[in-house]
């Protein structure tokens, strides 16, 4: 069967792992630069109160729509709220969304992929047919549809991404398991009479999970972007909680007069995203070289 089940998310993974050498951002460089960028974001996320110059939700009608200045680094919005402080305070919620939205599908998808790949037969058939159905929807369409049914709000965004995101991991891990399962040492372990649980946990999982983890690094970016998109559409984080996507949505009405409301939160998204991507890139290089 000429099924080519690559999709966007897997392709990111494939292209990432194909980048064998990166002189400008050498193996370790790429991971280091990524780690530095992610660390800066983490500092923002953990200590927003130390970095922010204002209270992110303080309304000041005397300082509406002010351009960036030494008082308001990133300017103010239509309520006079300080954009810099709002952007800094957003970091925590955006990173949390990115990580939590990634971890649950990573675990669930990995378990399903392990079981289906290892036991095959009807478990595998059910998983593959379910995947066929899930693959029939573009990622964002299904996420938005689920949020539409459940109603807007951050918790429902989590549920929607969890319900859709596991498919990538299940497929990735399953295909790895199929290869590993037929390797000589697994066959030997079976002959020696090791239990299935031991073979799966001690021998297959460590080998199969590396690519899933590498994929997760880039998936954090995708989830962060998806959640920000939903907030931008008004379906995710609800006001007045500061969140990058929703701040950009706030700025939308003022793009002709106050570009700074839109520009800065997006810039933070790009920095956080690039940080995670670089980190994932380096990680996949590292695992590839180690695997040789």
Partner 1 sequence: MSTLNYIMKRILQIIPVMIIVTILIFFMIRLIPGDPVTVLLGEKATPEMVKLLTIKMGLDKPIYIQYLFFMKGLVTFDLGNSLHYKIPVFDLINKRFVVTITLTFFTVIFSALISFVTGYMAGLKKDKIEDQIIRMGALVALSMPQFWVGLILLIAFAVKINIFPVGGWGTTWPEHLRAIILPAFTQSLMTAALLARNLRNGVVDTLKMDFVDFARSKGLDERSVKRDHIIRNALISYITLLSMRMAYMLGGSIIIEKVFALPGIGALMIDSIYSRDYAVIQAVVIIFAVIVITINILTDIAYSFLDPRVKLD
User: Which residues would be at the binding site for partner 1 (CB under 8 A)?
Assistant: 1-4, 6-8, 11-12, 14-15, 18-19, 21-25, 129, 132-133, 135-142, 144-149, 218, 221, 225, 228-229, 232-235, 245, 248, 251-252, 255-256, 259, 262-263, 265-266, 269-270, 272-274, 276-278, 281
In angstroms, what is the minimal distance from the CB of 154 to partner 1? 16
Q: Which helix (H) or strand (E) holds 184?
A: helix 184-191
- Using CA atoms of 11, 13, 15, 21 in order, give the dihedral in degrees to the nearest 10: 180
Burial level of 123, CB count in 10 A (0-12/13-18/19+)?
middle
Closer of 67 and 201 to partner 1 (Cβ): 67
Contacts of the segment 130-137: beta carbons below 8 A, 24+ positions apart: 131/167, 131/170, 131/171, 134/164, 134/167, 135/5, 135/7, 135/167, 137/164
Distances (CA, A) of 265 to 134, 243, 254, 269, 271: 32, 8, 14, 6, 10
| Least distance between partner 1 and beta carbon 64 (Å) | 19
Residue 14 Cβ vs partner 1, minimum distance, rounded to whole Å: 8
Question: From the CB of 214, what's the least distance to partner 1, in Å?
Answer: 15
- Minimum CB distance to partner 1 smaller for 158 or for 244: 244
Q: Considering the complex, what minimum distance in angstroms separates the CB of residue 201 from partner 1?
A: 32
Nearer to partner 1 by Cβ, of 146 and 237: the residue is 146
CA 273: distance to chain centroid?
9
Nearer to partner 1, 7 or 60 (CB): 7
Give least dist CB 114 to partner 1, A: 24
Q: What is the DSSP letter of 253?
A: G
- Which CB sits closer to partner 1, 26 or 111? 26
Helix pair 8-18, 154-181: axis angle to 10 deg: 60
Nearer to partner 1 by Cβ, of 12 and 204: the residue is 12
């Amino acid at each position: 069967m000429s099924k080519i089940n690559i999709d966007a998310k897997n392709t990111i993974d494939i292209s990432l792992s194909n980048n064998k050498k990166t002189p400008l951002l050498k193996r370790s460089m790429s991971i280091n630069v990524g780690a530095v960028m992610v660390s800066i974001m983490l500092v923002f996320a953990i200590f927003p109160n130390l970095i922010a110059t204002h209270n992110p939700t303080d309304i000041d009608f005397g300082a509406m729509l002010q351009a960036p200045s030494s008082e308001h680094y990133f300017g103010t919005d239509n309520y006079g709220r300080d954009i810099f402080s709002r952007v800094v305070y957003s970091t925590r919620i955006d990173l949390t969304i990115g990580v939590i939205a990634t971890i649950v599908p990573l675990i669930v998808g990995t378990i399903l992929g392990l079981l289906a790949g290892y036991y095959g037969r009807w478990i595998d058939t059910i998983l593959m047919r379910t995947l066929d159905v899930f693959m029939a929807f573009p990622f964002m369409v299904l996420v938005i549809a689920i949020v539409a049914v459940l109603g807007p709000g951050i918790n429902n965004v989590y549920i929607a991404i969890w319900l859709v995101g596991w498919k990538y991991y299940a497929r990735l891990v399953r295909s790895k398991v199929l290869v590993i399962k037929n390797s000589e040492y697994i066959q030997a372990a079976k002959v020696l009479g090791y239990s299935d649980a031991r073979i799966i946990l001690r021998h297959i999982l460590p080998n199969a999970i590396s690519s899933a983890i590498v994929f997760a690094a880039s998936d954090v970016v995708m989830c962060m972007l998806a959640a920000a998109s939903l907030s931008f559409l008004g379906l995710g984080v609800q006001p007045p909680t500061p969140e990058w996507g929703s701040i950009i949505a706030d700025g939308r009405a003022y793009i002709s007069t106050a570009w700074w409301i839109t520009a800065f939160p997006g810039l933070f998204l790009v920095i956080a995203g690039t940080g995670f991507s670089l980190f994932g890139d380096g990680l996949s290089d590292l695992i590839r070289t180690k695997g040789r």
